[in-house]
Amino acid sequence: MKPSIHRPTQIIVDRQAIKNNFLHERQLLNDETAIFAVVKANAYGHGAVAVAQTVSEVGVDGFCVATLDEALELRQAGLQETILVLGVTPVQQAELAAQMNISLTVATLEWLQQAIELLTQPLKIHLALDTGMGRIGFTQHDAVVSACEFIQQQELIIPEGIFTHFATADEADTKYFHQQVQKFKQLTTNLPLKFKYVHCANSATSLWHLDCQSNMIRFGIALYGLNPSGTALTAPYELQPALTLQTEIVHIKKVPAGQSISYGATYTSSKPEIIATLPIGYADGWLRRMSGSSVIVAGQLCPIVGRVCMDQMMIKVPQMYPLGTKVTLIGTDQQTNLSAETAAEYCDTINYEIICNLSDRIVRKYVN
């Protein structure tokens, strides 16, 4: 999908905020701990290549993505750092990953056995351990040992890393988290193979469980200035949100009492009102469940009235504003703020989903 460059809806990404979040985290870690920036899902809506280039300028050690195609995008843009694909890649693509110096996650011995039949050059791999996430990875110590012994016999498989992922590192109750920590220790004890990277820390772990950082962290949502716990836990330093979502008023009118607005006629004016139309809708990622929430116009909160449409939505405003008046959906205007967390709380989800929903149709503009 091409960005709609001739429409006044845009995402503004503050590159300095991303750098600041990275550097604050760098200060918490010891010098031996590597930081891999998680730029999957188009860098959580911020733009994968631009974010990768931004943190490359301040010494990032590598990148994490979800798919091989996301990794290839970074390579094709000229990024030279280590890139780890966190998801399971079809074994038929192992040779392509090796050619492009992309590291792959391995979750079974069978995958390794099939890959070695296809490889003609070395492939870097990270063994995934399932310690309680229930998603992908080895669950038994003897299976991990068997995988390590197999790797030892292969010249074309390079054991670059071994890792797990925590399910509750962003919660105040740490019981299940510590169960996973113990499982990780058990699965990685007395292995016949040494790995360059041993990693279990996502953003939440790197913020609140520094003793579990191993020698690499996967720095994701916090890189973008958002709290992985929402509002449950306070970050050890001030996170700087990097993303602002703005649009403009493209139509405005006075309506009489009794006028219904948008699909389903779910909103009807109780008195004469001023209704403005905005060129953004659920095809852009501002989903229908945001109906009834607020945006900012000239420093004032203004409610979305009626259902959010695919490409447009309507808001109630206190006065007749000129066409082209700025409207903020995420960000600050005249000291009034609406964050991704504000939106998440309104529709009972998490800040991750709000920003990841923002579609490629919205233009990304980079500042600082």
Active-site amino acid positions = 40, 263
Integer Cα distance of 241 and 221 in angstroms: 10
Name residues whose C-beta falls within 8 Å of residue 251's C-beta, 6 or more positions apart in sequence: 276, 277, 323
The length of the chain is: 368
Dihedral through CA 21, CA 22, CA 27, CA 30, nearest 10?
150
135 annotated to bind ligand: yes
Q: How far is CA 305 from CA 35, 111, 267, in A?
A: 44, 52, 6
- Taking only Cα atoms into account, the Rg of the chain, rounded to an integer number of angstroms, comes to 23
The number of angstroms, rounded, from the C-alpha of 265 to the middle of its chain's C-alpha atoms is: 35
Handedness of CA 345, 67, 134, 166 (dihedral sign): negative
Taking CB atoms within 8 Å and a gap of at least 24, the contacts of 5-8 are 5/363, 7/279, 7/363, 8/247, 8/248, 8/250, 8/279, 8/324
d(CA 304, CA 314): 6
Q: What is Dmax (Cα atoms) for the chain? A: 79
Task: Please state the separation of Cα 193 from the chain's center in Å.
Answer: 32
3-state secondary structure 117-131: CCCCCCEEEEEEECC
Per the annotation, binding residues are 135, 310
Per the annotation, binding residues for substrate are 135, 310
